[in-house]
Structure 1
Amino acid sequence: MRDVGVRTEDDRVLPFAVEGLDVRGRVVKLGPALDRILRRHAYPPPVARVLGEATALTALLGSALKFNGRFQLQTRTDGVIDMLVVDFDAPDRLRACARFDAERLAAMAEAGTLTTGDLLGHGHLALTVDQGAEMSRYQGVVALEGNDLEAAAHQYFLQSEQIPTRVRLAVGEAFTSDNDASGMRYRAGGLMVQFLPHSAERQRQADLPPGDAPEGHDIADADAFEDDAWVEAKLLADTTEDHELIDPTLQSERLLLRLFHERGVRVFEGQSVHEECRCSRPRILATLRSFSQQDRDDMVGDDGCIGITCEFCSRHYEVEPAELADEPV
């Protein structure tokens, strides 16, 4: 652990604890890694914003893995953005892509309805932990019903992990000057706070509303069942402004000090992350070999090669059929 005040770099996840509130959490600030992902695909600003939120959320959740595995966030919906995929390969690799309908996006822009919930529409969000071939895979699925990714994350922890959790996400552009160039660059930030008291009873969350109560009976306020420490932690987390999460001049330590200084906050060793795709020529060849000979023949283009473009990094591969003739034993 280290004292608050040490500089936190971009593209880093910073774990912290507020022992006075029985709270633990993480802060992420993404700069160059996110900007490379979004600029490479030249996503329209609304799509870039939603994918940036998903990438920040994935970094918050995936960085908690204690083993070399993969954490994936994926959405499938009927919205303008019908698919998001973000991969976090522990301990530090991120990649992401989105699929969207440009015509529907233009129509929504004219109507002025461009919230994250509107763009995603209805469908589901799946969070998958893949620990490798030797271990079982875990997947949690929550419904997306016109809600944003913050609300979806809260629902996931309520039904899957049963850990009281608060998440804040923000994406924007900020002026950045470095050795390469100066200009507006995409940035994203996220804050996750979780209530982890020693007593399981204190961690118990209020039940979901039971529906219409009989006449003459009032439904108890859900907040009345929550622990006072958690109520305080939620209120403090909710004061986080978007600009604080994406400001390149505001260190994560300073943000945490602003939020929790009265209770005492401790930060732990941060985890750097970077953008890196898993695609490679050997992987492409292995994938193509999994298809039948007829399927591979159908893939051959007019130039006599099979062309493959990675959806994540846009790298293009040209494969000659002869490269697939001799499969490794």
Structure 2
Amino acid sequence: MDMAAPPAGDDRVLPFAVEGLDVRGRVASLGTSVDTIIARHDYPPPVSRVVGEALVLTALLGSALKLDGRFQLQTRSDGPVDMVIVDFDAPGRLRACARFDAARLEAAIAARATATGDLIGHGHLALTIDQGGDMNRYQGVVALEGQSFEEAAHQYFRQSEQIPTLVRLAVGEAMGGGDHAWRAGGLMVQFLPRSVERMRRPDLDPGDAPEGHNPAAGPDEDDAWVEAKLLVSTVEDHELLDPTLTREQLLYRLFHERGVRVFQPQAVEESCRCSSHRILAMLKRFSLEDRADMVGDNGRIGITCEFCSRHYDIDPADVAEEADAG
């Protein structure tokens, strides 16, 4: 990809509908937002790819929230990348961080085991939805067993939402003039017919039937959903990452025979919610003894945000004043 080419609709999520197939979805293109987040942490390339996938998946899922909602993706696992956290604050603010073991990562690179599933390993993926206001929080948990974020998303929708869903994610580096920048793209389609009966999937083979017994075949998948999946499966990574290909053009390539309708796009940006005020509010919850232990040789308390790497140099007297005011 040529970095000199002007981005075509970067850093936004575009909702769409293909009414001829009873399909709705969202397509995302992340440029500056994902590159800024990754660059601030200076992660090794394999870790950057994992974070990029998590970011674009979170953008696809979180963009469905109301204006005051929050969505969080978090992994805890036993792989070289043992934790990934992505926060989405509606309407479109993203931040992320990851934790990895450098020695284990080097071993994985040497063994060429750098796929997302290899680096994350086994554990769990938690997707937390906070609609804001008086609405209850909801959390869905997916077991991680070496699968990709795409596969984990499919598992989540099968288990928690029971909505036929297909997700495609891509992450890559755009090159130009000796420089590089990270990009990410994603596409999610969901089968939402008016009749719930049409959403039913074939049952899985129970696996414990007596020998010689053939379980009755379950219902076949709806023809419209089969067609939608076949079309989406033709999307290649470079199409999701190309800065000169608008999301509208990509959707037209896929669904022009059936007709596709797009809605108002949603802008996405890198934005951390940390601030001096929030740091002071957090520190005042500690005891005087604990705060004293935090003071460095320069007589200040140093705090670095794990999400944006911004460093705060706090005067202990300001913390005491904040605590007294509270």
Fold shared by both chains (TM-score > 0.5): yes
Q: Which moves more between the two structures, 81-90 or 199-208? A: 199-208
The offset of 1:221, in angstroms, is 6.6
1:143 is matched with 143
Query: How many aligned residue pairs are there?
Result: 318
How far apart are the structure 1 equivalents of 2:285 and 2:205? 49
Structure 2, unmatched stretches of 5+, are 1-6
Residue of 267, 272, 279 corresponding to 1:277: 272
Is residue 185 from structure 1 mapped to residue 185 from structure 2 by the alignment?
no
Instruction: Call closer, same or farther: CA 1:120–1:134 in 2, change over 3 Å.
Output: same
How far apart are the structure 1 equivalents of 2:91 and 2:216? 44
Is residue 202 from structure 1 mapped to residue 198 from structure 2 by the alignment?
yes
Residue by residue, what CA displacement relative to the aligned partner does 1:207-259 show, whole Å, maximum 9, x if unpaired?
3331243222335677x521111111111111110111001111111111111
2:23 is matched with 23
Residue by residue, what CA displacement relative to the aligned partner does 1:164-214 show, whole Å, maximum 9, x if unpaired?
00000000011368xxxx732100000000000000111122333312432
Other structure's SS at 1:235 match: helix
Supply the AA of the counterpart residue of 2:93.
R
Kept in 2: contact 1:165–1:193 (CA 8 A): yes
How far apart are the structure 2 equivalents of 1:37 and 1:230? 35
Residue by residue, what CA displacement relative to the aligned partner does 1:284-305 show, whole Å, maximum 9, x if unpaired?
0000011122211111111111
How far apart are the structure 2 equivalents of 1:317 and 1:133? 30
* TM-score normalised to structure 2 length: 0.94
Kept in 1: contact 2:183–2:241 (CA 8 A): yes
Kept in 2: contact 1:8–1:253 (CA 8 A): no
1:307 is matched with 302
1:69 is matched with 69
Kept in 2: contact 1:131–1:137 (CA 8 A): yes
How far apart are the structure 2 equivalents of 1:221 and 1:41? 51
Kept in 1: contact 2:171–2:184 (CA 8 A): yes
How far apart are the structure 2 equivalents of 1:109 and 1:253? 37
Structure 1, unmatched stretches of 5+, are 1-6
Aligned runs of 1:257-296 on 2, under 5 Å?
257-296=252-291
Is residue 237 from structure 1 mapped to residue 232 from structure 2 by the alignment?
yes
Residue by residue, what CA displacement relative to the aligned partner does 1:59-89 show, whole Å, maximum 9, x if unpaired?
0000001231110100000010000000110
Other structure's SS at 2:239 match: helix
Other structure's SS at 1:99 match: strand
Supply the AA of the counterpart residue of 1:62.
G
- Name the % identity: 70
2:3 is matched with none
How far apart are the structure 2 equivalents of 1:238 and 1:218? 31
Other structure's SS at 1:197 match: coil
How far apart are the structure 2 equivalents of 1:245 and 1:220? 40
1:97 is matched with 97
1:320 is matched with 315
Instruction: Call closer, same or farther: CA 1:176–1:276 in 2, change over 3 Å.
Output: farther
Aligned runs of 1:147-226 on 2, under 5 Å?
147-175=147-175, 183-218=179-214, 225-226=220-221
* TM-score normalised to structure 1 length: 0.93
2:242 is matched with 247
Residue by residue, what CA displacement relative to the aligned partner does 1:136-186 show, whole Å, maximum 9, x if unpaired?
211110000011100000000011111100000000011368xxxx73210
How far apart are the structure 2 equivalents of 1:28 and 1:71? 16
Instruction: Call closer, same or farther: CA 1:43–1:195 in 2, change over 3 Å.
Output: same
How far apart are the structure 1 equivalents of 2:217 and 2:43? 43
Other structure's SS at 2:147 match: coil
Kept in 1: contact 2:8–2:243 (CA 8 A): no
1:39 is matched with 39
1:121 is matched with 121
Kept in 1: contact 2:65–2:131 (CA 8 A): no
1:60 is matched with 60
How far apart are the structure 1 equivalents of 2:269 and 2:64? 16
How far apart are the structure 2 equivalents of 1:97 and 1:209? 39
How far apart are the structure 1 equivalents of 2:289 and 2:207? 57
Instruction: Call closer, same or farther: CA 1:120–1:268 in 2, change over 3 Å.
Output: same
